[in-house]
Structure 1
Amino acid sequence: MMLSHGSLAWTVVEREGKYAIRFRDFEHPFVKSFGPLPYFYIDPSLRVQATLRRYAEPRTVSVDTVIEGLGYHPESPGVVEFEIEGKTYSLEAYSSGEQLFYVFGDQTNRDATYGAGRFLYSTLPGEDGLTVLDFNKSYSPPCAFNDYSTCPVATPRNRLPIRIEAGEKFDMSFHYSPEH
């Protein structure tokens, strides 16, 4: 539910039975000066076919968030396996309506992308179990831009030991804090 008045908007959010109000001012100077986000160049080799390896039964997984004590508990149908440069990797997928959702980390989190990981969606696999992971569409979670979001962070299971130089980069100048 959202309530708005002029440039102001209030949204009620619920996380694990706890409620909060998300307030936005679309005319705030920081919002108005927000420029284009930095991205890696598109890399066709980082648009990869992936195979969903389903668990016998979907599992509820426990994922930490940037807010200590507040978890995220998505349902996972299984892991997707894919190859990059001849090596096989996998990510645990989370159910998200008509898509699969991934919170992943990689070696760029140290110097080029948001440290807690990035988000990515893929289509649900067909009968053959195949889907496509297009890392060029990976993006920073909302918590990369402010201190007031409740984003899930990449689990150790979903941290890749390689650099995924595709998708959105991170620049601290885009992060809002009350000092702005």
Structure 2
Amino acid sequence: MDITLNVNGRPEQFSAQPNELLVERLRDGLGLTGTKVGCDTGQCGSCVVRLDGRSVKSCLILTVSAAGSEVATIEGVTPAGGELSGLQEALRQEHGTQCGFCTPGMVMALGELVESTAGGEAPTEPEIREWLTGNLCRCTGYHSVVRGVQRACAPAAEPLVDTVRQEV
């Protein structure tokens, strides 16, 4: 089936098999390997992309069902040679990217949360943790990820409270 997708702001036209998954098209067909394949069952979240602005697990979406849609991948968040997004920088500062395998999916999913709360009330820790449901971190870096989201959502004039406990 011939389809067109707008991927990271660029139109892409190609033929896709009816059973081809969006993650396969992104990684194998378009070379966008930042979108990871972790479980192939929608459980881990490493394949999260934005489809028409909403976070979706691309291992559960058929490419043909995404025809005509806008797809944003981690490669579109920070163009080559560009600066990190506010969320990416906050995660870096809070050490929320340990091995990095889950990071692209988390950035794509949590980016939607950060954008939806911009200019409004910052999400609470339980809200951030709820949003993280479905994004598994094998290194158990959730505390650092939560702090990174809090940093990304904190008003610039407001100092960020350090929630790290000091070990004696």
TM value normalised by structure 2: 0.29
Bigger Cα Rg: 1
Structure whose residues are more often strand by fraction = 1
Q: TM-score, normalised by structure 1?
A: 0.27
